[in-house]
Structure 1
Amino acid sequence: MPKEQTIISTFPSMTKAEAAKTSLANAGLTDSSIKRSSRFGVSTDDELDSAISSAETLTGLTLFSANTSKESKAAERVLMGADPSVSGFSMSGNPLAGGHAFTLVVFAPPNRVDEAVTIIKQNGGEV
């Protein structure tokens, strides 16, 4: 199996990360994944994190926390509500790796790393 290099980049929004992933796939670099980073252990769930289903929570729209149990994790929910991203004051500079909440990880052959980095940067990512 040929060796590949790992490229880790961060994005300020899921939309930009997905656009970069699509552009990479169009260039033939399909081994990639997007993750939502949080200090509070939340996860992305397309069904639960839609505007309609998560509007009932303060953090559902910003931290993708609609699937957090209301009963068992009350303290965690309070901490999530205190996150700067909930107020909208912190689009970047969060105390997360890369300063952004979305991470795109791409695996590329060594001879295509520069191309992948260029595509990521063209779509608003930081490597």
Structure 2
Amino acid sequence: MQEQEKEQTIISYFSSSTKAQSAADALSKSGMNDNHIKRSSRYGVTFDTERNDATANLAETLTGLTLFSMNTSNETNSAERVLMGADPSVSGLSSRGYGMAGGHAFSLIAFVPESRVEEAVALIKKNGGEV
């Protein structure tokens, strides 16, 4: 019976979802398919790529693009929406190191064979990630 190779967890951080997706695609293309993109937020909001797509004119608000707040109710919590709009991350002044793990809003968690860790890290860095 052949023993399965141990896996290593790699956690990397990105300044944008597109960079994180590029790294995930590069890993998948290399046969490392067990990777997951997560959006970190101080507000507990949802990462909804379909609703917050600026190029397709599908963003409801500015904070929908920057804080992914599309699921914040217009009627029941207008104060929350105003406070999110005043957050420094909306203006871009806090693109780095603003209260999130790794200093960026997007993380890529990849599970790769131990023998391919260096290759995976190189692909992540090539696509703008910090490991």
TM-score, with structure 2 as normaliser: 0.87
Q: In 2, distance between residues paired with 1:47 and 1:120?
A: 24
What CA RMSD, in Å, does the superposition of the two structures yield over aligned residues? 1.6
Give the direction of change, closer, same or farther, for the CA distance of 1:67–1:111 in structure 2 (3 Å limit). same
Partner of 1:59: 63
Instruction: Give the distance between the partners of 1:125 and 1:97, measured in 2 at CA.
Output: 14
Deviation at 1:58, TM superposition (A): 3.0
Shift of 1:2: 4.2
Could you say which structure has the larger radius of gyration?
Answer: 2
Q: Which moved more, 1:99-108 or 1:44-53?
A: 44-53
Note the 1:11-22 alignment, pairs <5 A: 11-22=14-25
Equivalent of residue 110 in structure 1, options 109, 114, 123: 114
Aligned counterpart, 1:8: 11
Shift of 1:31: 0.4
- Determine if contact 2:5/2:114 at 8 Å carries over to the other structure: no
Q: Structure 2: which 5+ runs fail to align?
A: none
Question: What are structure 1's unaligned runs of at least 5 residues?
Answer: none
Alpha-carbon shift at residue 79 of structure 1 (Å): 2.8
The structural deviation recorded for 1:8 is 0.5
Q: CA deviation at 1:109?
A: 1.1
Identity, % of aligned positions: 62
Partner of 2:37: 34
TM-score, scaled relative to structure 1: 0.89
Compared CA separation, residues 111 and 70, structure 1 to 2 (3 A)? same
Partner in structure 2 of residue 122 of structure 1: 126
SS state of the match for residue 111, structure 1?
helix
Indicate if the aligned counterparts of 1:40 and 1:76 stay in contact, CA closer than 8 A: no
